[in-house]
Amino acid sequence: MADKSEITDISEELSDEPIDDEGYDLEDQRGDEEIILVRHQHPWVLAKAGLILIILTGAVVATFLVWKTALASWIVLSVAGLIIILYGFLRGFLYKNSVFVITNQRVINVYQGSLFNRIVQEVDLDNIYNMTYKIEGPMASLLNYGTIELTTEGDYTDCIKVKNIENPYFVHNKISEMRKRALKK
């Protein structure tokens, strides 16, 4: 079992980038487990939500231009405003609650697919058999985000796939370094 100073040294030694843990707490964090890295999806995933919000706002403005101050325009404004606010909160909730965590013992992927759909995958570092990362497309290359896939020995069908992760090369290297440390123990 590693003492607290040894774990702190590991975190500092691996910090080419900030840890980004934002005070993140694991619900089932082990006693001797230290959070090394916490990442959300790349902010670019919110661009689709932003585009939808802009279109809805444009529709509201168009309604006022056509019907001026008629009752119909106030009804459309109220409904559209409510939809815009709810959609914005939903997208923010999904973004905030989808998180990828690397600790000194395991990798955890939490994907919040919808309001009532949450998938949590985890694998111990010493059980990772293969790691790959992909950066596909011009926007992903420009903004440096991609997909990381982790497979365990003997199980190629059910791998942990983390999509739209920022700087996948850095995250891949961080997992690789922590895996090497876990295998040495």
Kindly report the three-state secondary structure assignment for every residue of the chain: CCCHHHHHHHHHHCCCCCCCCCCCCCCCCCCCCCEEEEEEECHHHHHHHHHHHHHHHHHHHHHHHHHCCCHHHHHHHHHHHHHHHHHHHHHHHHHHHCEEEEECCEEEEEEEEECCEEEEEEEEHHHEEEEEEECCCHHHHHHCEEEEEEEECCEEEEEEEEEEEECHHHHHHHHHHHHHHHHHC
Q: Residue 153 pLDDT more than 50?
A: yes
Q: Is the pTM of this model over 0.85?
A: no
pLDDT of 30: 82
Q: Which pLDDT band holds residue 7 (cuts at 50, 70, 90)?
A: very low
Q: Which pLDDT band holds residue 60 (cuts at 50, 70, 90)?
A: confident
pLDDT of 173: 95
